[in-house]
Amino acid sequence: MSRIVYVNGEYLPEEEAKLSVFDRGFLFADAVYEVSSIIDGRLIDNQQHLLRLKRSLDELNMAEPCPMEEIERIQHEVVKRNAVSEGMLYLQVTRGAADRDFNFPADARPSLVMFTQAKKVAENPAAERGLSVITLPDLRWHRRDIKTVQLLYPSMCKEEARARGADDAWLVEDGQVTEGTSNNAWIVLHDGTLVTRQLSTDILHGITRRAVLRFARERQIRVEERPFTVEEAQGAREAFITSASAFVTPVVSIDGKPVGDGRPGDTARGLRGIYLEEAGKL
């Protein structure tokens, strides 16, 4: 059965869902996106995803394709029409189609596209096993706080990780870890303190990162928002990543060196449990 994809006002079978070859999302990666997870047919922490979408649009001077309340209504309709109880909802806004020109067109109408991917997200073998990551230089542009579809470098890094037998890559700039290719990076110090890089234009302001910070603080777990080096991470008690699709997933080795005892740690496993427990309220 084919999915129903939303494109600019229409709900279409995926084979019929199309955009112009002149769409600036295609020609210039002039587009932003959001990914929300779905559990029990419900979008998790979706208001925060919509706020970040609004911020990405504003930072790029891109018009809203329709009012944010309408975007939310369409999101729910796409989930419903595809009867997805568990998985992801992808939403993409491009600046629209116009004759090819680097300068922004004055009169293009933004395109809005949404589609679902049904998959198990709560139960994930990777979370049981833990991830191995390699480190690579962070060669992305310097506005990583804007969630653009410029995902070629992260794709190249994931390919490099796979070629080297690893699950993913952490990116490093000026000797410090910025974030994962598609997730925020965390370590747990030997005294139990959580460390994750502070918000800036260097990283995406992860919605899951935000929720996990809140859950940790509510439970009196100490948190430091600061950069850390690869060496500090390798010597940490635990490491993990956060994202809307991975929630909290342990990292068990970095560049071939085991973190802690090389198995998913109690803190990361505990935080994953807390996230899944609280997700229904987000």
**Residue 56 found at the interface with ligand PMP (CB under 6 A):** no
**Residue 244 found at the interface with ligand PMP (CB under 6 A):** yes
Residues 89-148 that bind ligand PMP (CB under 6 A): none
Single residue of 7, 12, 27, 35 touching ligand PMP by CB under 6 A:
35
Give me the catalytic one of 147, 158, 257, 281. Answer: 147
Single residue of 184, 196, 249, 267 touching ligand PMP by CB under 6 A:
184
The least CB distance from residue 244 to ligand PMP, in Å, is 3
Contact, 246 vs 209, CB < 8 A? Answer: no
**Residue 182 found at the interface with ligand PMP (CB under 6 A):** yes
Residue 147 appears among annotated catalytic residues:
yes
Helix, coil or strand: residue 237: coil
**What is the size of the binding site for ligand PMP (CB under 6 A)?**
13
**Residue 206 found at the interface with ligand PMP (CB under 6 A):** yes
Tell me the backbone φ, ψ of residue 36, rounded to 5 degrees: -115, 145
Helix, coil or strand: residue 258: strand
Q: Which residue carries 């189609």 as its tokens?
A: 97
**Residue 19 found at the interface with ligand PMP (CB under 6 A):** no
User: Which span sits near ligand PMP by CB under 6 A: 11-19, 116-124, 131-139, 238-246?
Assistant: 238-246
Contact, 65 vs 74, CB < 8 A? Answer: no
CA nearest 38: which of 112, 105, 98, 121?
121
Contact, 7 vs 95, CB < 8 A? Answer: no
**Nearby residues of 200 by Cβ (< 8 Å), 6 or more positions away:** 145
**Residue 282 found at the interface with ligand PMP (CB under 6 A):** no
The least CB distance from residue 179 to ligand PMP, in Å, is 5
Nearer to ligand PMP among residue 89 and residue 108 (C-beta): 89
Rounded distance, CA 280 to CA 274, Å?
11
Nearer to ligand PMP among residue 97 and residue 136 (C-beta): 136
Single residue of 75, 94, 148, 242 touching ligand PMP by CB under 6 A:
242
Nearer to ligand PMP among residue 84 and residue 244 (C-beta): 244
Nearer to ligand PMP among residue 96 and residue 144 (C-beta): 144
Rounded distance, CA 142 to CA 161, Å?
22
User: What are 124's two structure tokens?
Assistant: 């994930």
**Nearby residues of 92 by Cβ (< 8 Å), 6 or more positions away:** 25, 31, 32, 33, 111, 112, 113, 114, 149
Rounded distance, CA 184 to CA 175, Å?
17
Residues 150-179 that bind ligand PMP (CB under 6 A): 179
Point out which residues bind ligand PMP (CB under 6 A): 35, 179, 182-184, 204, 206-209, 242-244
Q: Enumerate the active-site residues.
A: 147
